[in-house]
């Protein structure tokens, strides 16, 4: 039997399933409805609307009130949640595998039959405004979104997912329904499942609850990224600690250089305590507590950044040390032993993350959405193994080019 099984309805909605036996940690199922629509797909007057809708779909349908939506899975010990990113909206659930029918029916109800009661709209505006205020109290989070504004000026990718308080107050049912009609396209919806249920049974349930949904094929294209001019910006804030981000635009999801750069980013400042940045700055000098590098690929572009939080007295020296590490990776190829260790570490981290069935569910759905197929763990490891020291040097010189790097500082 294939590790992954896929079924597509006539309306375009796809199902991907990874069947687990109950003996193989499959007693708990993970189900996600992944929609290829996020804050990037908003017009200027809609900024924050994708996230607002993610809140609203739990607030009432044609046959359920908010309480009944929240209780539907929690009554049987399950969990229901959702999130919005730049390019996706995801509804997710975890539950015992015998309750697939209940979960699928609920997903179909909230996505296709939400009614967005006026009372709930008003209430949820206040909730989102509180979320925006809370986020502004967290400079270590806000700096990531503000840095996006530097990399993608005057473009939806540079806008905050939460939107602004001023715009949130203008949202109404008409705007909500327009956005859903424009962006919740059936050919851009994936149901991703990992759990102990046979595929034919799951397909029958999938067809029962989703086959009757009207076809809504996408006709729009995403706004292309605009030009980018590097910039350094310092924002004065009343903070005990300085926060700094240094970075550049990077490779897209489908760029052939993405694997090499993912490996390089992990080697530079990934979660391992032996990353170059951690050893060179935190361990050697004790300058920073939070220090990491990140690479986020989108449909047609990517985002690379180094983030650090440090004492204001150590900020200049910390920036100098980060730039020194980037220069070393631009100037010198990794040796055979360094490259081997970097590959082993990255491959091992990916394999460990795949131990989580929730992660598998998300990865399978995103992969099908982005590439039309799902790579096995063996294929991913083979791609990593094929990366050469020359390829890493090439991407380091392209993305770590000091003439293309931007910097943002809160202090």
Q: What is the pLDDT of residues 296-312, one digit of tens each?
A: 999 999 999 999 999 99
Q: Are residues 331 and 386 in the same domain?
A: yes
pLDDT, tens digit (0-9, with 9 covering 90-100), for 47-79: 999 999 999 999 999 999 999 999 999 999 999
1: confidence class by pLDDT, cuts 50, 70, 90: very low
What is the arithmetic mean of pLDDT over 278-286? 93
What is the arithmetic mean of pLDDT over 12-35? 89
Q: Are residues 159 and 236 in the same domain?
A: no
Residue 224 lies in a domain: no
Residue 187 lies in a domain: yes
Residue 49 lies in a domain: yes
Q: Can you read off the two tokens belonging to residue 393?
A: 């040097």
Residue 221 lies in a domain: no
pLDDT, tens digit (0-9, with 9 covering 90-100), for 176-214: 999 999 999 999 999 999 999 999 999 999 999 999 999
CB atoms within 10 A of CB 48: 24
Residue 196 lies in a domain: yes
Q: Are residues 88 and 183 in the same domain?
A: yes
Residue 153 lies in a domain: yes
Residue 217 lies in a domain: no
What is the domain extent for residue 346? Answer: 232-410
pLDDT number for residue 59: 96
26: confidence class by pLDDT, cuts 50, 70, 90: confident
Q: Are residues 98 and 174 in the same domain?
A: yes
What's 157's domain CATH number?
3.30.830.10
Rounded to the nearest integer, the mean pLDDT of the chain is: 95
289: confidence class by pLDDT, cuts 50, 70, 90: confident
Q: How many structural domains compose the chain?
A: 2
Q: Are residues 162 and 261 in the same domain?
A: no
Collect all residues with Cβ–Cβ distance below 8 Å to 233 and sequence separation of at least 6: 150, 406, 407, 408, 409
Domain boundary among 210, 244, 261: 210
pLDDT, tens digit (0-9, with 9 covering 90-100), for 153-172: 999 999 999 999 999 999 99
pLDDT number for residue 2: 54
Any idea of the CA torsion for 6, 7, 8, 9, to the nearest 10 degrees? -160
346 vs 215: CA distance, rounded Å = 41
- For residue 171, report the phi and psi dihedrals to the nearest 5 degrees: -65, 140
Collect all residues with Cβ–Cβ distance below 8 Å to 83 and sequence separation of at least 6: 54, 89, 90, 92
Q: Are residues 25 and 96 in the same domain?
A: yes
pLDDT number for residue 23: 58
Residue 344 lies in a domain: yes
- Three state DSSP letters for the chain: CCCCEEEECCCCCEEEEEECCHHHCCCEEEEEEEECCCHHHCCHHHCCHHHHHHHHCCCEECCCEHHHHHHHHHCCCCEEEEEECCCCEEEEEEEEHHHHHHHHHHHHHHHHCECCCHHHHHHHHHHHHHHHHHHHCCHHHHHHHHHHHHHCCCCHHHCCCCCCHHHHCCCCHHHHHHHHHHHCCHHHEEEEEEECCCHHHHHHHHHHHHCCCCCCCCCCCCCCCCCCCCCEEEECCCCCEEEEEEEEEECCCCCCCHHHHHHHHHHHHCCCCCCHHHHHHHHHHCCEEEEEEEEEECCCCEEEEEEEEEEHHHHHHHHHHHHHHHHHHHHCCCCHHHHHHHHHHHHHHHHHHCCCHHHHHHHHHHHHHHHCCCCCHHHHHHHHHHCCHHHHHHHHHHHCCHHHCEEEEEC
In this structure, is the dihedral angle defined by the CA atoms of residues 96, 97, 99 and 104, taken in order, positive or negative?
A: positive
pLDDT, tens digit (0-9, with 9 covering 90-100), for 239-261: 889 999 999 999 999 999 999 99
Q: Are residues 167 and 23 in the same domain?
A: yes
CB 40 within 8 A of CB 157: yes
135: confidence class by pLDDT, cuts 50, 70, 90: confident
Burial of 133 (0-12, 13-18, 19+ CB in 10 A): exposed
**In the chain, how long is the greatest CA-to-CA distance?**
63
223 vs 161: CA distance, rounded Å = 16
Q: Are residues 98 and 51 in the same domain?
A: yes
Q: Are residues 337 and 246 in the same domain?
A: yes
Q: Can you read off the two tokens belonging to residue 163?
A: 């939107």
Q: Are residues 178 and 35 in the same domain?
A: yes
Q: Are residues 268 and 387 in the same domain?
A: yes
Q: Are residues 256 and 187 in the same domain?
A: no
């Amino acid at each position: 039997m294939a590790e992954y099984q896929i079924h597509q309805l006539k309306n375009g909605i796809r199902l991907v399933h990874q069947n687990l036996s109950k003996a193989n940690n499959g007693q708990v199922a993970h189900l996600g409805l992944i929609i290829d629509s996020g804050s990037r797909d908003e017009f200027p007057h809609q900024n924050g609307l994708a996230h607002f809708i993610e809140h609203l779909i739990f607030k009432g349908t044609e046959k359920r009130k908010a309480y009944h939506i929240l209780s539907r899975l929690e009554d049987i010990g399950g969990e229901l949640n959702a999130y919005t990113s730049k390019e996706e909206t995801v509804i997710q659930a975890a539950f015992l595998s015998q309750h697939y029918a209940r979960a699928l029916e609920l997903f179909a109800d909230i996505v296709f039959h939400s009614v967005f009661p006026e009372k709930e709209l008003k209430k949820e505006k206040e909730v989102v405004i509180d979320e925006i205020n809370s986020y502004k109290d967290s400079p270590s989070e806000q700096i990531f979104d503000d840095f996006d504004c530097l990399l993608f000026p005057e473009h939806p990718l540079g806008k905050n997912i939460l939107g602004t308080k001023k715009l949130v107050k203008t949202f109404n049912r008409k705007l909500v329904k327009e956005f859903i009609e424009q962006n919740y396209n059936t050919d851009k919806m994936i149901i991703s499942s990992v759990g102990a249920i046979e595929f034919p049974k799951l397909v029958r349930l999938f067809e029962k609850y989703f086959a009757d949904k009207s076809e809504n094929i996408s006709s729009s294209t995403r706004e292309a990224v605009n030009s980018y001019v590097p910039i350094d910006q310092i924002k004065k804030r009343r903070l005990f600690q300085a926060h700094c981000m240094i970075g550049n635009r990077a490779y897209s999801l489908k760029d052939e250089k993405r694997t090499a750069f993912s490996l390089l980013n992990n080697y530079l400042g990934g979660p391992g305590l032996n990353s170059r940045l951690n050893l060179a700055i935190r361990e050697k000098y004790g300058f920073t507590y939070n220090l990491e590098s990140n690479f986020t690929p989108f449909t047609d572009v990517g985002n690379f950044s180094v983030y650090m939080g440090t004492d204001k007295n150590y900020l200049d020296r910390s920036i100098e040390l980060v730039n020194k590490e980037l220069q070393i990776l631009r100037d010198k190829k990794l040796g055979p032993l360094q490259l081997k260790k970097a590959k082993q570490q990255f491959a091992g981290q990916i394999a460990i993350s795949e131990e989580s069935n929730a992660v598998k569910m998300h990865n399978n759905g995103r992969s099908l959405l982005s590439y039309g197929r799902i790579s096995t763990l063996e294929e991913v490891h083979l791609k990593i193994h094929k990366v050469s020291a020359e390829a890493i040097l090439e991407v380091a010189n392209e993305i770590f080019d000091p003439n293309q790097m931007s910097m943002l500082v809160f202090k």
